[in-house]
Structure formats: C-alpha cells, structure tokens
Amino acid sequence: MSTHENLKGKVAIVTGGGGVLCSAMAKELARQGVSVVVLSRRLEKAESVAADIKADGGEAHAFACDVLNKDDLIATEKAVNAIYPAYHILINGAGGNHPEAATTSEYFSPEQAENASDRSFFDLSEEGLQHVFNLNFMGTVWTTQVFAERMIEAEAPAIINISSMSAYSPMTKVMAYSAAKSSINNFTEWLAVHLSKQGIRVNAIAPGFFLTEQNRGLLLNEDGSYTERSAKIISQTPAERFGEPEDLLGPLLWLADPQMSKFVTGVTVPVDGGFQAYSGV
C-alpha cells in the first residue's frame, strides 16, 4: 500500500482499537507515520495492538476506555492530552451487539410465544436495546464531544465513523444494531455540516460482511464451513467472499489524507463487495 506523506506526524484516536477491524486501521495509520492512541474497553487488547505497532517501529499508546461512560471518556482524554496537545484523526470504531437485542428467528410466528427458548421482537429487553443503541450511536456521539474539541486547532482534521451495510438495509434479527448504524449515517451528515466552518471533515465507512470476534460463531460452523446465514450472505455478495480487514485500509487512508479527499465530507463509503448493488436477480 502506498505511503501517504501527508499523514506523517499526525495523531489519531481509535476507539474499538482492540477489535479485528479497527486494530488493522490503527496499525496501518501507524505504518504511515501517525502516532496512534488505541482505546479499548479491555486494556490488554489495546496494549496488544500498541505493542504490535511499537514492534514495527511505530508510535502508539494504549488506554482502557468505555465509550458508554462519558466520565471515563473525559478522564481518558485528559490523560491523552498530557501526551498530545491536539488530535488530527478520530476513528469512532467501538460498536457491537447484545443477545437480548436480537431475535432468534428472522420472521415472527405466534408459536414463538409458546417456546421459551425463542426470542421474538416482543421479547427484546429494554436493557439489551438500550445497550446496543448507546454502544453504537451514543458512544460515537459522546466520544466525538470529548475528543473533537481539540481537533479544531489541528491542521486538516478528519473524523471517520464506522457504520455498516445494515444501515441501508436492516439485517434480520438485529433490529437495534441496524437502527443504531443508520443513526451513524445521519449523524455523519449532520456533524459534517455543523463542523464545516472549523475545517473538520466528517465521513464514515460502512463495512459489508467481515468476520470478527463477535460474529464468527454466527457465520462459521466449528469445522470452518459456512452457516446457513453465511451462505445467504455470500449468495448476495457479488464478490463471493467475506471482507478482509485490509479491504478497509484504502478507504481509510483516502478519507484520512487531507490532500486525497479535502473536498469530501458528509459521505458514508460502502465497502461491501457489491452487496448493496445486487438486487438478487
């Protein structure tokens, strides 16, 4: 992958940095000469990513941070600010789902009410729904409130939110996750306008179907073969495969590099192997 000299010396904050996708983003930014602050709810995961970056000659710092806790975000930002006076790139990658916010079946049937092991729309818990919405949407809003204020004085700052293809067409079973990711797209457009006079560009990346720690058990059988849900996904993806973390790095660098995308703000870029474009026939 080409070198982006415009990114050298910049500082990036990456939430969800211990995960499969955002850890790849953090490592690529570091390879480009960016100083990376890796934030993860579990410190050991953030430290592992930071250690890999340092082993490759990059600069990184790891912090445990819960994006659901604004006080924790504020305390973390103060610690980061003691190291770096300003930030140039913010990647809002923290997200996920909750079992009590997902139905067990794609379609509702009255028989589900008689089966205690089935969870229909009417059984989704308030706790589960609120957790998913807060983690995927409010966590992005709160993180941006806390970190983006110091980006105003930075040169050519960029915020990159992580959306999902479920924002465009909601996936079955995961109503709350799809709704929250749809909110990310709307928030990206709103914030791009709101911060435009301060020179902060705000965009998003919408990954299609990628294998992560959270969904691997749903998409692969124990022997590594596709589950029924995976088979449906692949059949609707013209590229006929799941995405790889490396597939996100080109769009990431394009959106982060102010010379490559200086007139691009308020957009969400699908990276989905053609999933959105395919009608199924």
Predicted pLDDT at 202: 98
- Can you tell me the distance from the alpha carbon of 59 to that of 257, in angstroms, rounded to the nearest whole number? 19
- Any idea what the CATH number is for the domain that residue 201 is in? 3.40.50.720
Q: Please check whether residue 233 lies inside any domain of the structure.
A: no
Buried b (16+ CB within 10 A) or exposed e, 34-52: bbbbbbbbeeebbbbbbeb
The Cα 171–Cα 178 span in angstroms is 7
Cα 45 to Cα 71: distance, rounded to the nearest angstrom = 21
In a domain, residue 217? The reply is no
pLDDT band, residue 211 (cuts 50/70/90) = confident
Segment (H or E) for 63: strand 60-64
Say yes or no to pLDDT of 214 above 80.
no
Active-site residues: which are they?
177
The answer to whether residue 278 sits within a structural domain is: no
* Tens digit of each residue's pLDDT (9 = 90 or more) over 26-61: 999 999 999 999 999 999 999 999 999 999 999 999
What is the rounded average pLDDT of the residues 82-111?
94
Q: Would residue 222 count as lying in a domain?
A: no
Q: Kindly state the tokens that stand for 193.
A: 């306008």
Q: Is 214 a domain residue? A: no
Average pLDDT over residues 189-203: 98
Q: Express each pLDDT in 231-266 by its tens digit.
A: 999 999 999 999 999 999 999 999 999 999 999 999
Domain count within the chain: 1
The 10s digit of each residue's pLDDT in 149-165 is 999 989 999 999 999 99
- In a domain, residue 215? The reply is no
Among 1-10, 77-86, 137-146, 256-265, the range scoring the smallest mean pLDDT is 1-10
Q: Does 236 reside within a domain?
A: no
pLDDT confidence band for 277 (50 / 70 / 90)? very high
Range of the domain at 163: 5-208+243-271
- Over pLDDT 90: what percentage of the chain? 88
Question: Is a pLDDT exceeding 80 seen at residue 66?
Answer: yes
